[in-house]
């Protein structure tokens, strides 16, 4: 799925993309998970502030969940913006054009509806970067298990 997303939304020249996805396949509804991954990967590239960058997508099993991380070496997310970036129609700055403020809110909602959770770690190293880590159940939820 991640490789397919990167084929459809390739990283620009100068970006290094690393994949650490050595996990067993798991049972889930593909469309919501793909939407979350598209948003997180797209944001990491779109909001990077340099011509060259590094993006890492990794996944591992964590008990009954799959723990997935999208890590970049961009400018990171300022402390004062961390709460609002997951809210609908909120963007990092008021001057961002072409950003709806829907992507992270939708991603958070999709993750939670499917029984997972998301966290943000920023900065990740050298005072830069962001890591969006989320846990996605390895088994699809049954209807009525809300």
CA angle 110, 32, 56 (to 5 degrees): 90
pLDDT in the model for residue 98: 47
- The stretch 115-120 carries a mean pLDDT of 95
Among 5-14, 64-73, 92-101, 110-119, which is the least confidently predicted range?
92-101
Which of left, alpha, beta for 63 (phi over 0: left; psi -120 to 50: alpha)? left
pLDDT band, very low/low/confident/very high, at 34 (cuts 50, 70, 90): very high
Q: What is the pLDDT of residues 49-94, one digit of tens each?
A: 999 999 999 999 988 899 999 999 999 988 888 777 888 654 544 4
Q: How far is CA 125 from CA 2, 74, 91, 95, 110, in A?
A: 24, 10, 23, 27, 28
């Amino acid at each position: 799925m991640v490789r397919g997303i990167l084929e459809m939304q390739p990283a620009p020249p100068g970006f290094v993309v690393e994949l650490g996805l050595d996990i067993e396949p798991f049972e889930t509804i593909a469309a919501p998970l793909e939407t979350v991954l598209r948003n997180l990967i797209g944001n990491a590239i779109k909001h990077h502030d340099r011509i060259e960058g590094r993006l890492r997508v990794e996944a591992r099993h964590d008990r009954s969940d799959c723990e997935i991380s999208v890590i970049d070496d961009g400018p990171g997310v300022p402390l004062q913006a961390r709460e609002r970036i997951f809210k609908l129609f909120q963007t990092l700055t008021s001057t961002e054009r072409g950003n709806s403020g829907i992507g992270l809110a939708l991603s958070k909602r999709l993750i939670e509806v499917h029984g997972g959770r998301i966290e943000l770690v920023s900065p990740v190293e050298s005072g830069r970067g962001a890591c969006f880590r989320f846990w996605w159940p390895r088994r699809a939820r049954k209807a009525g298990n809300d």
